[in-house]
């Protein structure tokens, strides 16, 4: 997918971005070093999704954006799809779980389209948990 993505990105833009497939529990980037992190359909595959979301928060700069899409168990663990799609069974999250964890980390939901039992497409902005806790 990354090789295919490179073909869609103009060369002058590629000089300013990093496309990488990395371990969600240990992002190989400095703290507060990224303007944007994208994760489409990733978190719900990671058993410790809270830890992975914490890594997103760690590497984002203040006011940095997390573009994401996630599916909820209501879609992938129903009587049909649970037999044809591979997803973890334990530690899954629903809308309120994801929203609470983002809020706790200082990731403010800026925009989203959500079907509560199906999934969410959104943009979260890092406001900084330290700032939020002292305010």
* Helix %, strand %, coil % of the chain (to 5): 35, 25, 40
Scanning the structure block, which residue is given the tokens 């994208």? 38
β-pairing, 119-126 with 107-115?
antiparallel
Which domains does the chain carry?
Answer: 23-134 (3.40.50.150)
Q: Is the pLDDT of residue 133 over 60?
A: no
Calculate what percentage of the chain has a pLDDT beyond 70: 94
126 forms bridges with which residues in the sheet?
107
What angle is formed at CA 45 by the lines to CA 42 and CA 47, rounded to 5 degrees?
125
Instruction: Check residue 135 and give its pLDDT.
Output: 37
CA dihedral of residues 40, 43, 44, 46 (deg, nearest 10): 130
- Predicted confidence band of residue 90 (pLDDT cuts 50, 70, 90): confident
Q: Is the pLDDT of residue 71 over 50?
A: yes
Average pLDDT, the chain: 89
Could you give the C-alpha distances from 2 to 7, 8, 9, 11, 15, in angstroms and in order? Answer: 9, 10, 11, 15, 15
Measure the CA–CA gap between 28 and 75, rounded to whole angstroms: 32
């Amino acid at each position: 997918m990354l090789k295919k993505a490179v073909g869609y990105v103009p060369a002058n833009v590629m000089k300013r971005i990093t496309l990488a497939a990395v371990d969600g529990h240990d992002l190989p980037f400095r703290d507060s070093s990224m303007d944007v992190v994208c994760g489409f359909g990733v978190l719900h595959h990671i058993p410790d999704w809270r830890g992975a979301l914490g890594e997103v928060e760690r590497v984002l700069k203040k006011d940095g954006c997390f573009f994401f899409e996630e599916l909820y168990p209501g879609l992938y663990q129903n009587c049909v799809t649970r037999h044809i799609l591979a997803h973890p069974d334990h530690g899954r999250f629903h809308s309120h779980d994801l929203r609470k964890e983002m809020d706790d980390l200082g990731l403010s939901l800026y925009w989203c389209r959500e079907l509560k039992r199906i999934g969410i497409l959104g943009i979260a902005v890092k406001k900084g948990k330290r700032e939020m806790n002292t305010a």
